[in-house]
Amino acid sequence: MKAHTKASQETITPALALQFLKEGNSRFINNLKINRNLLEMVNDTRDGQFPFASILSCSDSRTSAELVFDQGLGDIFSVRLAGNVASQFAVGSLEFACKYLGSKIIVVLGHTQCGAVKGACDNFQDGNITPLLAQITPAVDMEIATKEHRHSKNNDFVHNVMLKNVELQIRNIYALSPTLTHMKMEGKIDIVGGIYDVGTGVVDFLEIGNEVLEGIVREADFSAV
């Protein structure tokens, strides 16, 4: 399996990029990973990189995007931060990946049993963890279905907040980046959500990216974008 070149990357659409990720996750959960010569891929990518996908994922040691999507060197532009938070610097990295490196899709990848989400649910505070978790706290407020036991020991509540956090971070990408919003609306890239199950290895993709953007357009009269 060869690393992507500029020519091969240019043939990939956002829909095809998503399909590649789905196929890769299927291989991962069935222990059927593609046989790659990694040293050869090092040589192939020494003069440049052409990642077809960008993944904003959590720093959790169980959630390596290259592994769970069975991809090789040069295939994925990986941005990792606890709680898959779309900080200004994370979004800047995604802009670079899509506008200048040619990535066709951004996946905001949350995961089950996320420690950062649990910390936000409990309003945990300690050093520089405090401002990080503050970027997830709005997702706690967005979860209005749970009326009681709104803490990390309530697994259903944590799961619901995790889902809301993926939506929140997609919303933050659009809010922080006119560049990526333009590219999405022009069909050059897609921005989708995903959930990785740390117990099974399965990634479920969420059909929320378009809904979030449509909501932003309605709320902000963003039709001129």
Per-position pLDDT tens, the chain of length 225 = 677 888 888 899 999 999 999 999 999 999 998 888 888 888 888 888 999 999 999 999 999 999 999 999 999 999 999 999 999 999 999 999 999 999 999 999 999 999 999 999 999 999 999 999 999 999 999 999 999 999 999 999 999 999 999 999 999 999 999 999 999 999 999 999 999 999 999 999 997 767 777 777 666 554 444
146 contact partners, CB below 8 Å, separation of at least 6: 154, 156, 157, 160
Strand ranges in 14-140 using DSSP code E only, listed in sequence order: 53-57, 76-80, 105-111
Q: pTM value?
A: 0.92
Strand ranges in 58-181 using DSSP code E only, listed in sequence order: 76-80, 105-111
Backbone angles phi, psi at 151, to 5 degrees: -150, 175
Asked if residues 75 and 52 have their Cβ atoms less than 8 Å apart, the reply is yes
135 C-beta neighbours (distance < 10 Å), count:
22
Distances, alpha carbon 77 to alpha carbons 12, 167, 197, 201, in Å: 15, 21, 21, 20
Q: Which domains does the chain have, with CATH numbers?
A: 6-220 (3.40.1050.10)
Let me know how long the chain is.
225
